[in-house]
A and B are shown apart, each in its own frame.
Chain A
Amino acid sequence: MDIALLGNPNTGKTSLFNNLTGSYEYVGNWSGVTVEKKIGVLKNNKAKLIDLPGVYSLNPLSSDEGVVTRFLLANEFDKLLNIIDASQLERNLHLTLQLIEFGKPLNIALNMIDVAEKRGIHIDVDKLSACLGVPVTPIIARSGKGCDHLAQLATEKEEAPENPYLVDYGEEIDKSVRELEGMLGGQGQHSVRWLAIQLLEGNRYVKKYLLDYVSEDKLDSFIEKTKNAVLSAHSEFKSLEQFIYKKRQAAIAGIVGEAVVKKEDKGIPLTDRIDRVVTNKWLGIPIFLLFMYLMFMLTFDWLGFPLSDWLDAFISGPVSSGLEKALLLLGAGEFIRALVLDGIVAGVGGVLVFVPQIFILFFFISLLEDSGYMARVAMVMDRLMEGVGLNGKAFIPMVIGFGCNVPGIMAARTIETPRERLLTILLTPLMSCSARLPVYALFVGAFFLHHKALIVLSIYVLGIVIALLLAKLFSNTLLKGETSLFVIELPPYRVPQLKSLAKSTWEKGKGFIKKAGTFIFAGSVIIWLLGYFGPGGIDVPMNESYLAMIGGIFAPLLEPLGFGNWQSGAALLTGILAKEAVISTMNIIYFVPDEASLQGLLAGAFSPLAAYSFMVFILLYIPCLATVATIKKETSSYKWTLFACGYAIVIAYLLSFLIYQGGKLLGLG
């Protein structure tokens, strides 16, 4: 049995999904966490649950919302599960009524009954269920209360709504439903009434579906005719869409009147009190910057750095020597021993060392998402973003991009206008993702011991500044036109739950560990082999290896940037596959057992200025392979994908050149 989960954004849909399926999905407290449908198996093993993006209506505005309508039109499933925020019943019922009209078996999960009660809203569940003609189960998704009962109910009964005609749209619409019925002549598998109403509301996905059966001219004249009939009979309305909305609203008012008792509101909710501070006129941006500063200090200085140091000592000490002993005991030859210890341990271990720092960073990003602060950040940033031709919502993909660019780019789907979405996709790779973090951590440890967090923060800020400048440039040249748009819902604050935070952090971070075990592992073996073999045979000095030859091709090009050695060339080349591979490559090339001694060697090969120039180059030079693939998928354009890679390398080269040559002129070299 397949059950599709639908609901408005910010109603706790993903929390419910996690509770029902026991598995973990990404939960965030801002619209657009579920950008692609996700599937889980119910705890009782009786059904599959499909999590769809949050929508306010079935008539989509942005491309993530289109996923839901497309799903309803094209996919096979047995039942719908609609989650409703009890404290926002009127608004949520608009979607519910459209789902009832759709006619498939439907269950309702009435979430946040505790929040509603606190706000003085008491809902009579039985009456609501009777009014809607579908089963309603009260739940609290965050704590899991009522979820087991819901799962049982959802998998047991399978009845279509008692009455799919809850809303009376008037005789003109009824007449046009019959007309469409005649035009379709029994073709298509969905409720004709639902199709007609969605079409008249302007749903372009439904129109596209109907084009398979009816010609476009016929559909357009059908819409025009109905519109004229309705608007001449009801002159107080300006559009069909508004008419249909008002009819639904009238039906909802009737239902709410029956099933809801409102008491007096009590006191100022906590959310309001917090909002007075964090979205304060003047304090908003400083508070955000302070939060970011704390995050960097903890990641790079106060907490993350000592933890990474400790892990480094552990891997280069007990783990390495233990492995060496084990290999000797097994009678492994010198080649295998060198491959394992100098190749794999150096390469994979060099990346794993940074796991604590990456997890701290992901913890903070999860905190931002889960608490409801993210939407406020978008709000606070909107003015700045408007100035460069974007809107505040574009800031969310960018913050997510600090963790990993891939989900960041996917999160851009929530942006309504195609131009702003494309711009956001193109610029998100400039956000310094967690895979680039090990490179900075290594270099600041070697060169900028006393200003670690500050130097790294400067790199992150540089990424943002370049992104904003380029946004301004692109929106004035390549991507002109189309107005910018910004409307954002600010969900109430929720105290993040430790369990959910821990899970969310783990979900994001586990990809990094997995990559270390697969991609970086394989890469390390190849790099080590390239360094072991050379034109002169096997076990050649590193400087005469194939790796040195390949890296050497790029060395002259990198000379003006301050790091014109073959080692940098080789590291940058592997960094295209995955940014953390830069570290693995350097560990293998410099042939050192641990991070500390690599830093010692680097101090000889780079000057501090060259090191900074190198870090800037790493920040900007090209999106990693996975990101490039995502850009291709999201833009479905080779041209824009190539552009994203091309502009990045040009900007990286120019900026590193300026920093290194400028710094030398100023006497910093």
Chain B
Amino acid sequence: MKMLGKLKTGEKAVIKDISNVNYLVRRRLLDLGITEGTEICLKCKMPFGGPYMLECGGRCVGIRRCDANDIKVERK
């Protein structure tokens, strides 16, 4: 188990626990089909502590680094 924020660019992982993330962020991610059990791929990290770009089911989503650091994942 590790945090999503610790993944390397291009790594794939399955989300294990998202409950520590802010409610609004969690709801929005759920809307986008990202929740426990979803497979994601970390596409890109923006510089200077900027957001992360994830890919899930062929769609890309941007989330903040702090939220990524609250999501537990398991590497594939």
For residue B75, which residues in chain A have a CB less than 8 angstroms away from its CB?
none
Interface residues of A in 76-98 (CB under 8 A from B): 87-88, 90-91, 94
Interface string of B32-69 (1 = CB under 8 A from A): 11010000000111111111010001111111100100
> Chain A: residues with CB nearer than 8 A to chain B?
56-57, 61, 87-88, 90-91, 94, 119, 238, 241-242, 245, 269, 271, 275-276, 279-282, 284, 375, 378-380, 382-383, 386, 392, 416-417, 483, 485-492
**Are A88 and B58 in contact (CB-based, < 8 A)?**
yes
**Are A91 and B62 in contact (CB-based, < 8 A)?**
no
**Are B57 and A88 in contact (CB-based, < 8 A)?**
yes
**Are B47 and A382 in contact (CB-based, < 8 A)?**
no
Cβ distance B55 to chain A, nearest Cβ, rounded Å: 8
**Are A379 and B62 in contact (CB-based, < 8 A)?**
yes
For residue A483, which residues in chain B have a CB less than 8 angstroms away from its CB?
22
For residue B50, which residues in chain A have a CB less than 8 angstroms away from its CB?
380, 382-383
For residue A375, which residues in chain B have a CB less than 8 angstroms away from its CB?
62
Distance in angstroms between the alpha carbons of A308 and B55 in the assembled complex: 46
Main SS at interface, chain B: mixed
Q: Is B27 an interface residue (CB 8 A)?
A: yes
Cβ distance A65 to chain B, nearest Cβ, rounded Å: 9
**Are A87 and B58 in contact (CB-based, < 8 A)?**
yes
Residue among A241, A375, A487, A489 with the highest chain B CB neighbour number at 10 A: A487
Distance in angstroms between the alpha carbons of A491 and B29 in the assembled complex: 15
**Are A416 and B51 in contact (CB-based, < 8 A)?**
no
**Are B31 and A56 in contact (CB-based, < 8 A)?**
yes
Cβ distance A30 to chain B, nearest Cβ, rounded Å: 12
Quick one: which of B35, B46, B61 contacts A281, CB cutoff 8 A?
B46
**Are A490 and B53 in contact (CB-based, < 8 A)?**
yes
**Are B64 and A386 in contact (CB-based, < 8 A)?**
yes
**Are A275 and B44 in contact (CB-based, < 8 A)?**
yes
> Which residue on B lies nearest to A249, using beta carbons?
B35
Quick one: which of B25, B35, B46, B61 contacts A245, CB cutoff 8 A?
B35
> Which residue on A lies nearest to B35, using beta carbons?
A245
Distance in angstroms between the alpha carbons of A57 and B27 in the assembled complex: 10
For residue B49, which residues in chain A have a CB less than 8 angstroms away from its CB?
383
For residue B60, which residues in chain A have a CB less than 8 angstroms away from its CB?
271, 275, 489-490
**Beyond A91-B57, A238-B19, A487-B29, 7 additional pairs, beta carbon < 8 A:** A87-B58, A90-B57, A269-B58, A271-B60, A379-B62, A486-B51, A487-B67
Q: Is B6 an interface residue (CB 8 A)?
A: no
**Would A392 and B31 be within 8 Å (CB), given that A281-B45, A383-B46 are in contact?**
no
Quick one: which of A282, A487, A492 contacts B25, CB cutoff 8 A?
A487
Quick one: which of A87, A119, A392 contacts B51, CB cutoff 8 A?
A392
Q: Is B28 an interface residue (CB 8 A)?
A: yes
Q: Is B1 an interface residue (CB 8 A)?
A: no
Distance in angstroms between the alpha carbons of A276 and B43 in the assembled complex: 9
**Would A382 and B51 be within 8 Å (CB), given that A88-B57, A88-B58 are in contact?**
yes
Cβ distance A271 to chain B, nearest Cβ, rounded Å: 8
Interface residues of B in 1-36 (CB under 8 A from A): 19, 22, 24-25, 27-33, 35
Distance in angstroms between the alpha carbons of A490 and B67 in the assembled complex: 17
**Would A489 and B61 be within 8 Å (CB), given that A91-B33, A281-B46, A382-B50 are in contact?**
yes
For residue B27, which residues in chain A have a CB less than 8 angstroms away from its CB?
61, 241
Distance in angstroms between the alpha carbons of A380 and B51 in the assembled complex: 8
Cβ distance A51 to chain B, nearest Cβ, rounded Å: 20
**Would A382 and B28 be within 8 Å (CB), given that A392-B51, A489-B59 are in contact?**
no
Quick one: which of A241, A269, A379, A485 contacts B22, CB cutoff 8 A?
A485
